[in-house]
Every structure is written in structure tokens, then in C-alpha cells.
Amino acid sequence: MNIVISYNSDKPMYEQIEDGIKKAIYDGELKNHEMLPSVRQLAKDLNVSAITTKRAYIDLEHEGFVYTISGKGTFVKLDSIDEIHTNRQRETISQLENVLSECKKIGITKEKISDIVNDIYE
């Protein structure tokens, strides 16, 4: 699993860690019930605080991507491939909503957006 942290990004480091782990899950790099690195090990590998890594693991657990067994570690939780796709679609739609909101604010018309979408899908 290769997670890249940008110290110049506006996105908090814990979110970057979450995104990196989600990408590894989506790409099939991490399998169901596979153990993730310990909080301390990942923090050391990424050169971030253990608190930052712990926050990412907690958020991922709340979102249903991982589960933790006390004294054993944190593991990937994927009950089915459909769950992965549903979560990915939900995230993508949320990102699209943010982009469309920004487009609306700066005056890009629905027609222009429709043209762009049509070009991409062709």
C-alpha cells in the first residue's frame, strides 16, 4: 500500500491517509480481512503523528471500511464487491456535487456542463 502525503495540501493529513487506504481498497490492493499496518507503524512510515493516523483509522471504521480487534489490529472490512462500488459511487457523487456547486457559483451554465459531460463520455 502506497500512501502519499502532501504537506502543502489544503486537505488535512488524516483525510489524505483515508483517501490512500480507500484507493488501495478500491483498486483491490487491500483484500477483505487483510490487516493494516499498526497506527504507530503507519505514522512512522508516513512521517506523521500517531494521532493523525488514529483519526484516519477511526473515520474509516465509522464509514465501514475497516474494523478493529483490540490487541490484534485493524483489518479491511469488505463484505462484498457491491459494497465497494456503492461507497465509491457515493463518494464520487459527493465530489461531483461540490464541483457542480462551484460551477454554479462562477457562472458555468448547465448546458456547458452537459457539453463537457457528453464529450467525456464519448
Query: Which stretches does DSSP call E strand in 7-122?
Result: 66-69, 73-76
Q: Where are the domains positioned within the chain?
A: 13-76, 81-121
Model pLDDT for residues 104-119, shown as the tens digit of each residue: 999 999 999 999 999 9
Q: Which residues of the chain have pLDDT under 70?
A: 80-81
Question: How far apart (Å, rounded) are the C-alpha atoms in residues 73 and 93?
Answer: 31
- Confidence at residue 26, expressed as pLDDT on a 0 to 100 scale: 83
Q: Which fold has domain 13-76?
A: Arc Repressor Mutant, subunit A (1.10.10)
